Amino acid sequence: MLSSVIALLLAAPAVPLPAPTPLFLRGHAVAPAPQRVALRAGDVNLDEGWTIDSADHISARWLADDLKSFHGLELNRTGGAARSVIRLRTSAGAVADVPAEVRAQAYRLRIAPDVIEITGNGDAGLFYGVQTLVQLARQGPRGRIVAPECEIEDWPQLALRFLHWDTKHHQNRMATMKRYLDWAARFKANMIGFELEDKFAYPSNPEIGAPGALTPAELQEVVNYGLERFIQVVPVVQAPAHMAYVLKHPRFTHLKADGNNYQSCLCLEDTYKLIFQMYDDLIAATKGIDYFFVSTDEVYYAGIGANCKQPYTPENRSALWAEFARRAHDHLAAKGRRMLAWLEYPLLAKDLEKIPSGVIDGVVGDDSFVPVEMRKGMRQLLYVSTQGAEFLFPDHLPIESLASDARLGEFEEVFTAGRINQTYTTMARGSRVLGMNPIGAFGAAWDDSGLHDETFWLGWSAVARWAWQRGVPGPEQHAVEFMQVYYGPGVTGMVDVYRTMQQQARAWQRSWDRVVSRVRGPGYGNSEGKGIGTARHDLTLPAPALPEAVTLAVQPRYAARTRPYLADAAGWRIENDQLQHALLDNMLRADRNRYNLEVFHALARFVGHHWRLLAAMTGAERALQRAEENARRGDPAQAASHLVEAHNLIARVQEDGEAVWTNLRTVFEKSRWPKGMSSGGRTFVQVLDDSKDHWADRTADLGYMEAPERSIGLTAWREQLSRIAQAYAARHKVPLRGLAEKRLEE
C-alpha cells in the first residue's frame, strides 16, 4: 500500500537531519528521546542501597524487574527511611502545557544524588518515565551503574502509536505475543493493530478460524496483558476485500463478488451481516479497547457482479464504498468503539462527505482528501510501511538500488534510501507538508512474504519513537540506539549486521529467475481492473544440464556468460560466512533478545546454503564437461568418475539444504505455531487471495521458503544422472565407485 501522500513526501526535498541529542553525546541510548532535558555535570551511582518508594503499581514492579534483568540491580520496594530513594507518583499537573489528548502520558523525571523522582500526569505517564530511567542507567567507567543528574519533562507528540501485527501467514505463541507487548511498551508504543484474519476462532462462524486459532478467552488474555502496559490491542479486520480467509469456505461462496476469492459482494445484505458478526465477536473478546480498525484495504471491486443493480463505474464504486464505511461506523459506534479505516481507492474525494467525521483515516490515500478531512474535523494516522514485500529481511537501511532488476519485479517495493529513512521523512514532516492534523501513526509490517516478526523491530521502534518526538533524532542515531536498547550494550557492529542481512536477502532474491507460475493459476485482477495483471510468479532456476547418454555431450546452463550473477556468488558466500560469525559473536555478547539473533542466524544459514547450491550446480556442470572431454579422449573410467563427482556434488548440497531447512523451521517455531497446522481434528484449508502474488501463499506450511529450490527438481536430476552413469559404466565395463545413492524426498 503506497499512498499518493507517501509518494509526495518521498519526492519532496530531503529533510535536514538533526545533530545527535545531548543524552546520546553523554553516552546514553534513550528511545524515544525525551522532549525537554536539562543535564547537569555529574552522574548518580545506582546500587542496591536504593529503595523504590511506591504503591503496588506495575511501574514499580517493572522498574524493579528491568533494573535487575538489564543491570543486575536488586532494589527493595519497602520505602521508608532509606538512604537513597526512587519515588514514583502521579500528579495531574506534573507537566503543564501539554495537549489534552496526550496529557495523561506526560511525566517528569528528576535524578539527583540521593533521590530520583518520577511523577506522571497519569498512570501511563508514570510508566513511561520508568522506561526512560531504565534506559538512562548504564555502566560507568569503573563498572558501576550510573545515571546522569538531570531533569526531564516528556510527553508524546502523537497520542496513538500503532505497531502492526499482521498474522495472515503465521500464528505467534502466547509467550511470544506477551514478549512483543513488553518490548512495545519499552519503546513507548501504545497501540497494536492486530490483523487477525483467520487466527481468531469467531464464535458466530467457527469455520472461519484456522485450526488452533486464538479463542475469545486467549485473545482477551492478550488484550489484558497489553492494557496493564498501557497498550490497546486493536482488532484489524480485512473486509470486504482480502477475504479469501473467509470466502474459501463453502458456506460463504454465495458472498463472493463476481465469483472471486478476493472480495465479498457489497450488494448483498448477507455480506454486511457476516462482517458485522465478525466485528461483534472481536469486540466481545477485546473488552477494555476503545478502537476498532476497519481495514477497507484495497477494495478494488465495490459494486461489481450480478448482484449489483448499478453499473460498475468509478462513481458508483466510490459511493458503495462510502456506504459500507458509514454503516460500519454506525455499527461500531453503537458498540462503543471508535473506527479507524484506510480511506483510499476507490473512494473519491467527493464521497468523503458521506464518511462520519469521527472516523480516523489510517492512510490518507490521496492528498486531495486532506482539505475535506480538515474541514470536517477528521483526524489521521501517519502511515508508514516498515516492511512490504521484501523476501527474508526488510530493507531497513540504505543499500544499492535494485529497482532496475527485472528479477525483483512486483515483489519489491524498493525505497533506495531505506525504510527507516522513509519513516523518518514521513513522521518528521508529513502533516506539515500536507496540512494534516494527525492523532497518531501506524507502522505497517506486512506478512505478505512471511518474514519473521523479529526482523521488524528496528522499523517498529522507529515508528514508536518518531511518533513520540517527530524528527528527533536522525535515522543513524536511531539505528545505533536501537541496537543498544534491544540487545544490550555488549553487542558490536549490529548496524553492519543488519545491512549485511539486507544485502544477502536482496542478492538471494535477485539470483533466482522470476517466471510465470507453473503451479498456481492466474489471479483475478488489481486496482486497474478485473483481469489486469493477473499472472502469478514463482522463483526458480533450471537444473544443471544433463549429458547425452552415449557421448556425454553437455550444453552447460550455468556458465558465467549466461548467468552473470554467478560471478558474484563466491563473494556473497564469503560475506555470508562473515555475517554468521558476527551473529554468533553477538549471541554471546547480547544480554537481551538472543532469540532475535538466533532467527537472524537461521536466515543467514538459509541464504548461505543458497550460495553453496549455486556453487554445486556450477561445479556439477563443470564436472560433466570434464566427463565429456574424457569420453572424447577415450578414457571412460575417468569420464565415469566425473559423472559420480557431479552427482555427489548435488547430493551433498541437498543434504546440507535439508539440515539448514530443519534448523530454520525449528528456530521459527520456537515463537510461532507451525504454519497451516492441523489441530482439534481440523485441517487448514489453503486458498489463495485472488488479487495478490504473496510469496507466503505458495504453500500451506513454511515450505514456501524451500519452494524455489524444490522447483529445480534436483532429486529427479540426480536419479537421471545416476541412470546415465550406470549405463555408461556398464557399456564401457568400467567401475562406478562412490555414487551417493541416498535419496532426498522432494
The residue assigned the cell 448482484 is: 307
Sign of CA dihedral 177, 181, 186, 190: positive
pLDDT of residue 456: 98
| Residue 10 is assigned to a structural domain of this protein | no
Residue range 51-70: mean pLDDT, rounded: 93
Task: Specify the pTM.
Answer: 0.95
The Cα angle at residue 163 between residues 158 and 165, in degrees rounded to 5: 160
Do 272 and 367 lie in one domain? The reply is yes
Q: Which of 453, 448, 360, 460 is nearest to 420 (CA)?
A: 460
The answer to whether residues 666 and 595 touch, using CB atoms and an 8 Å cutoff, is no
Q: What percent of the chain lies above the pLDDT cut of 90? A: 84
pLDDT of residue 15: 64
Q: Give CA–CA dist 539/363, Å, rounded.
A: 31
Do 143 and 171 lie in one domain? The reply is no
pLDDT at 282 over 90: yes
Cis check: omega of the bond before 356, within 30 degrees of 0: no
Mean pLDDT in the chain? Answer: 92
pLDDT of residue 417: 77
The answer to whether residues 603 and 528 touch, using CB atoms and an 8 Å cutoff, is no
The helix/strand/coil state of 569 is helix
Residue range 27-49: mean pLDDT, rounded: 96
pLDDT of residue 142: 84
- C-alpha neighbours within 13 Å on the C-beta side of residue 16: 2
pLDDT of residue 365: 85
pLDDT of residue 743: 42
Q: What percent of the chain lies above the pLDDT cut of 70? A: 94
More confident residue, 405 or 175: 175
pLDDT of residue 404: 45
Do 213 and 324 lie in one domain? The reply is yes
Q: Grid coordinates representing 478?
A: 536511531
pLDDT digit string, tens, across residues 610-622: 999 999 999 999 9
| Residue 586 is assigned to a structural domain of this protein | yes
More confident residue, 143 or 213: 213
pLDDT of residue 366: 87
Bin 119: left if φ > 0, else alpha if -120 < ψ < 50, else beta: beta
pLDDT of residue 533: 85
Q: Grid coordinates representing 673?
A: 505455531
Q: Give CA–CA dist 72/87, Å, rounded.
A: 20
**Burial of 546: CB neighbours in 10 Å, binned 0-12, 13-18, 19+:** middle
- C-alpha neighbours within 13 Å on the C-beta side of residue 164: 27
Alpha-carbon dihedral angle through residues 95, 101, 104, 108, given to the nearest 10 degrees: -30
Contacts of 83 (CB under 8 A, 6+ apart): 49, 114
Contacts of 100 (CB under 8 A, 6+ apart): none
Do 295 and 436 lie in one domain? The reply is yes
**Of the candidates 154, 175, 199, which is a domain's last residue?**
154
> In what helix (H) or strand (E) does residue 191 lie, and over which residues does it extend?
strand 191-195
Tell me how crowded residue 484 is: count the other CB atoms within 10 A of its CB: 19
Residue 719 — very low, low, confident or very high, per pLDDT cuts 50/70/90? very high
Do 71 and 178 lie in one domain? The reply is no
Contacts of 274 (CB under 8 A, 6+ apart): 205, 246, 252, 255, 264
- The two beta strands, 107-111 and 115-120, are antiparallel
Residue range 416-441: mean pLDDT, rounded: 85
Contacts of 32 (CB under 8 A, 6+ apart): 156, 187, 188, 464, 465, 466, 468, 469
pLDDT of residue 5: 57
Do 299 and 179 lie in one domain? The reply is yes
| Residue 177 is assigned to a structural domain of this protein | yes
Do 633 and 537 lie in one domain? The reply is yes
Give all strands (DSSP E) within 324-448, no chain letters: 338-341, 360-361, 379-387, 438-445
pLDDT digit string, tens, across residues 105-121: 999 999 999 999 999 99
pLDDT of residue 311: 96
pLDDT of residue 746: 38
Tell me how crowded residue 605 is: count the other CB atoms within 10 A of its CB: 20
Domain count, the chain: 3
pLDDT at 550 over 60: yes
The residue assigned the cell 518520577 is: 118
| Residue 245 is assigned to a structural domain of this protein | yes
The answer to whether residues 226 and 233 touch, using CB atoms and an 8 Å cutoff, is yes
Q: Grid coordinates representing 19?
A: 545533530
pLDDT at 268 over 60: yes
pLDDT digit string, tens, across residues 509-544: 999 999 998 888 888 998 889 998 888 899 999 999
Task: Tell me the residue range of the domain where 135 lies.
Answer: 33-154
**Of the candidates 424, 448, 474, which is a domain's last residue?**
474
Which amino acid is located at 193 in the chain? G
Do 86 and 199 lie in one domain? The reply is no
pLDDT digit string, tens, across residues 435-470: 899 999 999 999 999 999 999 999 999 999 999 999
Q: For position 404, which CATH number holds?
A: 3.20.20.80
| Residue 481 is assigned to a structural domain of this protein | no
pLDDT at 422 over 70: yes
Among 186-190, 291-295, 414-418, 565-569, name the one with the lowest average pLDDT: 414-418
pLDDT at 482 over 90: yes
Q: Grid coordinates representing 154?
A: 516528556
Residue 433 — very low, low, confident or very high, per pLDDT cuts 50/70/90? low
Beta bridge partners of 36: 153
HEC assignment per residue over 676-710? CCCECCECCCCCCCCCCCCHHHCCCCHHHHCHHHH
Do 188 and 265 lie in one domain? The reply is yes
Residue 414 — very low, low, confident or very high, per pLDDT cuts 50/70/90? very low
pLDDT of residue 359: 98
The answer to whether residues 420 and 397 touch, using CB atoms and an 8 Å cutoff, is yes
| Residue 501 is assigned to a structural domain of this protein | no
Q: Using the 8-state DSSP alphabet, how is residue 409 labeled? A: G
Do 238 and 266 lie in one domain? The reply is yes
Q: Using the 8-state DSSP alphabet, how is residue 62 labeled? A: H
pLDDT of residue 9: 57
pLDDT at 475 over 80: yes
pLDDT at 547 over 50: yes
pLDDT at 356 over 60: yes
* Phi, psi (rounded to 5 degrees) for 258: 60, 25
pLDDT of residue 567: 79
Among 2-11, 64-73, 180-189, name the one with the lowest average pLDDT: 2-11
HEC assignment per residue over 135-146? HHCEECCCCCEE
Do 148 and 186 lie in one domain? The reply is no
pLDDT digit string, tens, across residues 661-678: 999 999 999 999 999 999
pLDDT of residue 80: 56
| Residue 15 is assigned to a structural domain of this protein | no
**Of the candidates 451, 474, 497, which is a domain's last residue?**
474
Cis check: omega of the bond before 475, within 30 degrees of 0: no
> In the chain, count of helices (H) and strands (E)?
19, 21
Residue 78 — very low, low, confident or very high, per pLDDT cuts 50/70/90? low
Residue 409 — very low, low, confident or very high, per pLDDT cuts 50/70/90? very low
> In what helix (H) or strand (E) does residue 130 lie, and over which residues does it extend?
helix 123-136
Residue range 498-517: mean pLDDT, rounded: 94
pLDDT of residue 10: 58
Do 197 and 340 lie in one domain? The reply is yes
Q: For position 134, which CATH number holds?
A: 3.30.379.10
| Residue 482 is assigned to a structural domain of this protein | no
pLDDT of residue 413: 42
